Amino acid sequence: MDAIYARQRHFYDLTRKYYLLGRDRLIAELDLADGESVIEIGCGTARNLIAVAKAWPGARCFGLDLSAEMLITARANVARAGLGDRIVLAEADATGFDPDALFGEAAFDRVMLSYTLSMIPDWRAALTQAAMVARGRVDCVDFGQQERLPAAFRRGLFAWLARFDVTPRADLAAALDEVAARQAWRASLTPRYRGYAWAGRLERGDG
């Protein structure tokens, strides 16, 4: 992971700006009250967490990533934004981590995964882990199946993503349903931008 991002971290946000669609909508819909907590699993450069901290100034923000190289950039970006007292970062594996040991938090009001499930080999374990540390809700956005876009576009995009070991998860809806069933939660999946992106949600049955 560090070998991949040692160079990419310097221009990651500039290149991803134009095709990681739906991130800002996810952030706008977090609905965080003052004092509530949010963690981003696979926080990368902390671009999203900085946006969360600005959009929801009363929220407590946490982030983790497996790449130490990416976290170097993330910490620099957080410091540059003057948000060092609002955003706490840690190095950890998305498929298994102890939130109390890392952050002194047993669970989080919101858990977000933005274009990470398509990059994590054991992505179902990461989704399960996200639900385990969620007090209120899990929100994710990632590449969809391009179901309402031209077939040639889909083939080209998927071939390009494969070069970077990115695999859109065709069975994301089923995985959300499975996690929800185990925990008596509700699951939903909403196609966005003609299926370019899929937005998924897990929330408690009484939420």
pLDDT at 34 over 80: yes
Delimit the domains of the chain by residue range: 2-204
Note the pLDDT of residue 25.
96
With beta carbons less than 8 A apart as the criterion, state whether 118 and 169 touch: yes
pLDDT at 6: 44
Q: What pLDDT score does 204 carry?
A: 85
Q: ∠ at Cα 128 (90, 74), nearest 5°?
A: 20
Residues 6+ apart with CB under 8 A from 37: 59, 60, 61, 62, 105, 108, 109, 110, 135
**pLDDT band per the 50, 70, 90 thresholds, residue 8:** very low
The residue-averaged pLDDT of 29-34 equals 97
Over residues 95-104, mean pLDDT:
97
Residue 195 tokens read as 């299926």
pTM above 0.75, yes or no: yes
- Residue 164: predicted pLDDT: 86
Instruction: State the average pLDDT over residues 55-77.
Output: 96
Where residue 32 falls among pLDDT bands split at 50, 70, 90? Answer: very high
Give the mean model confidence (pLDDT) for residues 110-138.
97
| 153-172 mean pLDDT | 95
Just give the CATH number of 2-204: 3.40.50.150
